[in-house]
Structure 1
Amino acid sequence: MRRRDVTDPNRRIIYGFFHPYANNGGGGERVLWQAVKATLLADDKNICVIYTTNIEAEPLDILKKAESKFQIDGLDHSRVVFIYLRKFSQLIDSAFWKHFTLVGQLFGGMLLGLEAMYELSPDVWIDTQGLPSSYLLPAVSLKIPILAYTHYPILQSDMFAKLKFQKFKDLSKFSLLNVRDYFALGKLVYWSCLYYFYVYLGTKIDIALANGTWTFNHLSTIWTFNSAFGNQLEILYPPCGTEYLTKDVDLTKTRNNKLLYLAQFRPEKRHDLLVKGYAQFLEKNYPNVTKPTDIIPTLVFAGSCRTADDTATLTSLQELVEKRGLSNFVEFRVDISYDEVVELLTTCKFGLNAMWNEHFGIGVVEYVARGCIPLVHASAGPLLDIVGNSNTWKGDNGFFFKSLEDPDFDESLQADTEPGFMVFDINGQLITYPTFDTLLQEIFVKDPISDAKLITLRQNGQQVIEHKFSNKTFTELWIQHINTLDALEKQYREDKRSKVEKVY
């Protein structure tokens, strides 16, 4: 029994990483594996347990993939344990739920967390997947510290703006004779219940980490009770490997006049918006050109297709390119290797991002790290954390654009705006942004950007992101949080558990 004594220096601490899709190879998995490495580095007594639904992959295959894809070296395999979750994995997939998807996924996350607890109960629970219901039962029944790394809040307070009745006091407008009002009332009750359940889940987290300013701002307005409970809510930028990407790159070298968009082929990435904007740019400035020239930039879409839906999005995009007559101007690079990605980042002149409210944007960080000047949508992570200078469309190391299709576009603000530009309310400040085609016209036709200016932008960008988004910075800060969790684990074992629970 003595080995499990709270003060025993040889007592092993089991850190349970709840990450069902541990083998997927995306940005969330990059955070997971760098966090695992940092946890093992924090103390030799630490053991990392990975709860995953990737039953098709062997443990060593998962580890090798993580090490090669994310430059994770030095993992002590002897202290990494995999627990395969087999019973409820389909319940967290949005495709499983035809209706009430969010409720279904929350329910599925709870059952998957229960299965994980049943297979092996950890000393500390860490959610890096972003399934908030998964830590409810561990927090209540196991009485252990909880850390949650949030990539994207599942609910935001501004969601209520889409409802007819946004608050219960708005029910004064309710009509007993209007059938639609009953549906509107049902929506208000449904979203209110979900919202306050999410608020409640936040109170169970000892350390809540947001991947950027946009996520942090939203969580701060939702998890308002966390500070009252003495719980932490902080920003911890994801590890982007910038210390590797900034090596061996010549920022003064002449590059190919290409616009690279590095993103999965999914609808929310809005590749079609770029194709339409690019077509308008050519029609306005080079109406009779049918083939690329040295002065006309071309598009490169590089990304992966993980699902049938992704493949359908890619096919639709290719058809749009063909319909617009852009086949000579648009190149598709699908499911290419990481080395090929780095080659594109090193040789292309500009990098694109068109997603509305991209919560962070690791791809944009990679652009900057390899000297690819970002031309990005002015929202969330790219605007607030990466490109810099959010008061104008000309950033510190890149440029911004907006779209008429943006959900936050307000027609009432556009009275005196010149053609091709739009005014948006950004955190109470009115800022003018160009459309994508206008931005291209500004930097390629109206006032062509010089090589000297490009070099300056690249150098500015590297200076900012090299340390800010490095694996080293993430590791150092993560270890500080692990030390806090280690102290909390001892405290909870003494204060919150019975004598039997302290031992087992």
Structure 2
Amino acid sequence: MASAIALLCLLLTGVVGIVVFTAYTNKLARRSAQARHAIIENLGISTTSNPQFIGYFHPYCNAGGGGERVLWTAIAATQRAHPNCISLVYTGDVNVTKEQIMDQVEARFDISLDPKSLHFVFLKNRRLVEDAAWPRFTLLGQSLGSMFLAWEALSQVIPDLYIDSMGYAFTFHVVAWITKGSIPMGAYVHYPTISTDMLARVKARKVGHTNSGDVAGSLLLSIGKTWYYCFLMYHYSLALSRPSFIMANSSWTKNHVDAILSHSDPVMNVMHFLNPLFALRLFATMLKRSKDLHTESTTTRREAKIVYPPCDTREMVQFSLDKRERIILSIAQFRPEKDHPAQLRAFAQLLADHPSYTSGSTSVKLFLLGGARNEDDHARVQALRDLAEELDITPHVQFIVNASYPEMLGWLAMASIGLSTMVDEHFGINVVEFMAAGVIPVTHASGGPLHDIVVPLDGEATGFHARDPQSFANAMHAVLSMNQSEELAMRTRARTWAVSAFAEERFVEGWEAAWKGWVQ
């Protein structure tokens, strides 16, 4: 009897919850309709044209990195090919205006946008997806924070197509719940939130960017973190199962995304289905109150499609391939995963191995160009300056923060070597830019630079790969000591491959093919 009463109470609670939630989502839909009408009027568009709204979830749209180039190239292409579409950008850049963002896009990427079909939805709680907000259980905290941010976004205006262009897969749950599964969703994945490599690294107790020495050195902590990662992997797989289409920026990313989509964990399956909330979701499904509230039962798994990021090489291919200065150039946002400390250590090793590179006509300098999005990034720049001082290489290193696009081009036209030390770099637009500009790349032997970009052309090398400070130093020395004909031949091969394989036109074709069938 008691069990029957408990079940009845559970069902009644579920019914009340569904009624309240349905009323709330209906209210959001009405509010969104009013917001859409106001946006159309504000942009000066005829209300009879029935424009389609494409929403891009990109909280750091003004950061100026490779992910932002993808966003703005996609929007510019959409504006040209589909004038009846309005691009909504959900961003946390609340301290700048629409005009300032557009000016930054043109200055950084040389991309012109039409303000008449572009609208920004500003989000006040972006701090919830920043590292600093979650000193412990960072990935879980950021995932939950992104869900709150998605709610903030759609509570203002709901699009006809939702695209996560920055890697916040858990937002798909919120979009599906709020819209009752009525709008298609898509993803452009630059880098998986959690990968099989990360899980394997923790299980093997290997120290890395995502696994500190304290954790790797403790069996108990490693077991705990393994369970934590298994939990995240399982639910990340569920989230990635929701979108209608998934684009990946490289073969490395595609392989990991496909592995995540097919991921299964028997223990997590049992825990998931025994969760009391599952009964409510099942009951809601039986009442047909939602089209997609039980993604966990989906048996058909999608595969990601490779759409290489856009690389505007038009100006870079005009740079001369000879008479380069002895400059080693790094172009990467000042984020932890870019591993700038490894660049400084590799450069210090190079100078230690070859003291002649510190002065005179053979002297070499390292220039680090990168975007700093917030106080944490600026703090990292200061920490790098301190490390350069500690390594006694400060006179030979220069930091250039938030450089403009023309300034970046100027350095690309002068540099001899392009340095990238990120482990498992998902793609590496900066590496493509190096090659197109005639800068010989020296990259980490992993991810996109290894498998997609710095690959042989006609059996001949287009650059170098390395794994540790000594091998990076050896590779840089190999470039600096090349004779003129060898150097020119490698620069030519690198440029030829970059321009043919990663042209902006190819990205636009892939992007169009992925999404255009999902809106009227």
**TM-score bin (small chain):** 0.7 to 0.9
The yes-or-no answer on 1:42 pairing with 2:92 is no
The yes-or-no answer on 1:106 pairing with 2:143 is yes
Match 1:121 to one of 150, 158, 161? 158
Match 2:497 to one of 453, 464, 469? 464
Partner of 2:258: 220
- Write out aligned runs for 1:132-281 (5 A): 132-140=169-177, 141-163=180-202, 186-224=224-262, 229=300, 231-246=302-317, 248-251=318-321, 253-281=322-350
Please state whether the residue corresponding to 2:326 is helix, strand or coil.
strand
- Write out aligned runs for 1:383-398 (5 A): 383-389=450-456, 396-398=461-463
Sort the Cα spacing of 1:116 and 1:284 in 2 relative to 1 into closer, same or farther, 3 A.
closer
| Distance in 1 of aligned mates of 2:221 and 2:446 | 32
Q: Match for 1:192: what amino acid?
A: C
Q: Match for 1:350: what amino acid?
A: I
Deviation, structure 1 residue 462: 1.8
Given that 1:210 and 1:235 are in contact with CA atoms closer than 8 Å, whether structure 2 keeps it comes out as yes
Give CA-to-partner distance per residue, 1:376-408, whole Å, 9 cap, x none.
221112111111139xxx97211111117xxxx
Sort the Cα spacing of 1:161 and 1:115 in 2 relative to 1 into closer, same or farther, 3 A.
same
Give CA-to-partner distance per residue, 1:321-367, whole Å, 9 cap, x none.
34444344333334433222211110111111112122211211111
| Distance in 2 of aligned mates of 1:98 and 1:324 | 28
Partner of 2:271: none
| Distance in 1 of aligned mates of 2:222 and 2:475 | 41
| Distance in 1 of aligned mates of 2:494 and 2:203 | 44
Deviation, structure 1 residue 208: 0.5
Partner of 2:289: none
Given that 1:260 and 1:352 are in contact with CA atoms closer than 8 Å, whether structure 2 keeps it comes out as yes
| Distance in 1 of aligned mates of 2:234 and 2:253 | 18
Deviation, structure 1 residue 186: 4.5
Greater shift, 314-323 or 341-350, is seen at 314-323
Sort the Cα spacing of 1:278 and 1:82 in 2 relative to 1 into closer, same or farther, 3 A.
closer
Deviation, structure 1 residue 457: 1.5
Partner of 2:351: 282
> Structure 2 length as normaliser, TM-score?
0.75
Q: Match for 1:241: what amino acid?
A: D
| Distance in 1 of aligned mates of 2:357 and 2:419 | 23
Given that 1:85 and 1:112 are in contact with CA atoms closer than 8 Å, whether structure 2 keeps it comes out as yes
**Count of aligned residue pairs for this structure pair:** 426
| Distance in 1 of aligned mates of 2:419 and 2:168 | 29
Give CA-to-partner distance per residue, 1:78-135, whole Å, 9 cap, x none.
221222223x332222211232222222222112222222211111111112111112
Greater shift, 139-148 or 361-370, is seen at 139-148
Q: Match for 1:274: what amino acid?
A: Q
Sort the Cα spacing of 1:321 and 1:76 in 2 relative to 1 into closer, same or farther, 3 A.
closer
Greater shift, 336-345 or 148-157, is seen at 336-345
Give CA-to-partner distance per residue, 1:45-101, whole Å, 9 cap, x none.
22211112212111222222223322222x332221222223x33222221123222
Given that 2:466 and 2:475 are in contact with CA atoms closer than 8 Å, whether structure 1 keeps it comes out as yes
Given that 2:150 and 2:175 are in contact with CA atoms closer than 8 Å, whether structure 1 keeps it comes out as yes
Partner of 1:298: 365
Deviation, structure 1 residue 471: 2.4
Match 1:338 to one of 399, 405, 413? 405
Sort the Cα spacing of 1:41 and 1:219 in 2 relative to 1 into closer, same or farther, 3 A.
same
| Distance in 1 of aligned mates of 2:369 and 2:203 | 40
Partner of 1:370: 437
Sort the Cα spacing of 1:47 and 1:372 in 2 relative to 1 into closer, same or farther, 3 A.
same
Q: Match for 1:15: what amino acid?
A: I
Given that 1:364 and 1:386 are in contact with CA atoms closer than 8 Å, whether structure 2 keeps it comes out as yes
| Distance in 2 of aligned mates of 1:102 and 1:271 | 22
Given that 2:419 and 2:443 are in contact with CA atoms closer than 8 Å, whether structure 1 keeps it comes out as yes
Please state whether the residue corresponding to 1:149 is helix, strand or coil.
strand
| Distance in 2 of aligned mates of 1:235 and 1:255 | 34
| Distance in 1 of aligned mates of 2:254 and 2:328 | 31
Sort the Cα spacing of 1:165 and 1:241 in 2 relative to 1 into closer, same or farther, 3 A.
closer
Given that 1:14 and 1:48 are in contact with CA atoms closer than 8 Å, whether structure 2 keeps it comes out as yes
Partner of 1:55: 94
| Identical counterparts, % of pairs | 33
Point out where structure 2 has 5 or more consecutive residues left out of the alignment: 1-47, 206-217, 264-294
Given that 1:262 and 1:363 are in contact with CA atoms closer than 8 Å, whether structure 2 keeps it comes out as yes
Partner of 1:476: 509
Given that 1:206 and 1:232 are in contact with CA atoms closer than 8 Å, whether structure 2 keeps it comes out as no
Give CA-to-partner distance per residue, 1:223-250, whole Å, 9 cap, x none.
128996374511111112123322x322
Sort the Cα spacing of 1:35 and 1:336 in 2 relative to 1 into closer, same or farther, 3 A.
closer
| Distance in 2 of aligned mates of 1:384 and 1:99 | 33
Give CA-to-partner distance per residue, 1:250-297, whole Å, 9 cap, x none.
22x3111221122334444333333333333333343xx584232343
Partner of 1:496: none
| Distance in 1 of aligned mates of 2:240 and 2:153 | 20
| Distance in 2 of aligned mates of 1:290 and 1:465 | 30
Partner of 2:485: 452
| Distance in 1 of aligned mates of 2:241 and 2:64 | 30
Q: Match for 1:197: what amino acid?
A: H
Sort the Cα spacing of 1:78 and 1:368 in 2 relative to 1 into closer, same or farther, 3 A.
same
Over the aligned positions, Cα root-mean-square deviation in angstroms equals 2.9
| Distance in 1 of aligned mates of 2:75 and 2:357 | 51
Point out where structure 1 has 5 or more consecutive residues left out of the alignment: 1-8, 167-179, 405-419, 421-434, 491-504
Please state whether the residue corresponding to 1:242 is helix, strand or coil.
coil
Q: Match for 1:219: what amino acid?
A: V
Q: Match for 1:281: what amino acid?
A: L
Match 1:355 to one of 393, 416, 422? 422
Deviation, structure 1 residue 207: 0.9
| Distance in 1 of aligned mates of 2:489 and 2:193 | 39
| Distance in 2 of aligned mates of 1:104 and 1:456 | 49
Greater shift, 302-311 or 471-480, is seen at 302-311
| Distance in 1 of aligned mates of 2:199 and 2:62 | 35
Sort the Cα spacing of 1:297 and 1:84 in 2 relative to 1 into closer, same or farther, 3 A.
closer
